[in-house]
């Protein structure tokens, strides 16, 4: 895959997206904390699941009842299954407890801050590891899931087939990393996720209200009337 060139000042792109994010960002309880364990729990619950009220409820119950890896490591499997049952995928209950035991045994009850060590935890994949690094530890780590991958495909107007697993696609991850504003990856990553949820939808994206419309090679050109209204 050839290098993806942005072709515009990244600072302008960052400013447009982050300004939009300030007023349009979504609010979730896991975004109000920098606790690595709570963020890790949230990301595990969100795997293969949208951020629904059911996920919010399960997250709140889990972190209230099991606020540390040590507490979660001793949880009754039936209790964990009961908490996450509304989300389906009950196998995650066993994975969560095993992951907590690994944190206790290998990391003294803490969450590691290295990509490699996070990837060694049960149930943690590329996206989850990067999300914890960005959202909990403030590292300049790009997060790429199916939605972010779709956004990048549109932004660069990529014509090749969409990958089965964008988070494991190295060239796509490299493109996402190159877009990060140094020191502000957390806000930027969250902004992209919210843009994908609210504007850059899988079908019928609302390009006319997209804050980065002018940077996107896939978006249709705005009509002169729309551009005039935007300037008012």
**Structural tokens at position 164:** 């089965």
Largest Cα–Cα distance in the chain? Answer: 63
Residue with tokens 């209950």: 93
Query: In angstroms, rounded to a whole number, what is the distance separating the alpha carbons of residues 213 and 216?
Result: 5
* Catalytic site includes residue 66: no
For 134, residues 6+ apart whose C-beta sits below 8 A from its C-beta are 140, 141, 142, 143, 185, 186, 189
The catalytic residue among 59, 66, 126, 145 is 145
* Catalytic site includes residue 102: no
* Catalytic site includes residue 145: yes
The catalytic residue among 117, 127, 157, 230 is 127
The catalytic residue among 43, 59, 66, 153 is 43
8 Å CB contact between 157 and 163:
no
Give me the active site residues, please. Answer: 43, 127, 145
């Amino acid at each position: 895959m050839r290098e993806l060139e942005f072709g515009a000042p990244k600072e302008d792109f960052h400013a447009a997206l982050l300004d939009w994010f300030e007023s349009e960002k979504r609010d979730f309880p896991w975004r109000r904390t920098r606790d690595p364990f709570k963020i890790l729990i949230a990301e595990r619950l969100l795997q293969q699941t949208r951020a629904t009220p059911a996920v919010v409820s399960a997250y709140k119950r889990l972190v209230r009842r099991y606020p540390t890896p040590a507490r979660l490591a001793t949880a009754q499997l039936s209790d964990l299954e009961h908490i996450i049952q509304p989300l389906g995928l009950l196998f995650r209950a066993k994975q969560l407890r095993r992951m907590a035991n690994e944190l206790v045994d290998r990391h003294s009850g803490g969450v590691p801050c290295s990509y490699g060590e996070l990837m060694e935890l049960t149930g943690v994949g590329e996206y989850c590891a990067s999300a914890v690094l960005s959202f909990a530890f403030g590292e300049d780590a790009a997060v790429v899931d199916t939605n972010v991958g779709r956004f990048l495909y549109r932004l660069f107007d990529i014509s090749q087939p969409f990958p089965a697993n964008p988070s494991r696609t190295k060239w796509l991850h490299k493109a996402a990393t190159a877009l990060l504003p140094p020191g502000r990856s957390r806000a930027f990553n969250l902004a992209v996720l919210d843009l994908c949820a609210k504007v850059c939808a899988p079908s019928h994206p609302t390009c006319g209200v997209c804050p980065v419309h002018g940077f996107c090679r896939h978006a249709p050109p705005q009509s002169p009337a729309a551009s005039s209204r935007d300037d008012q």
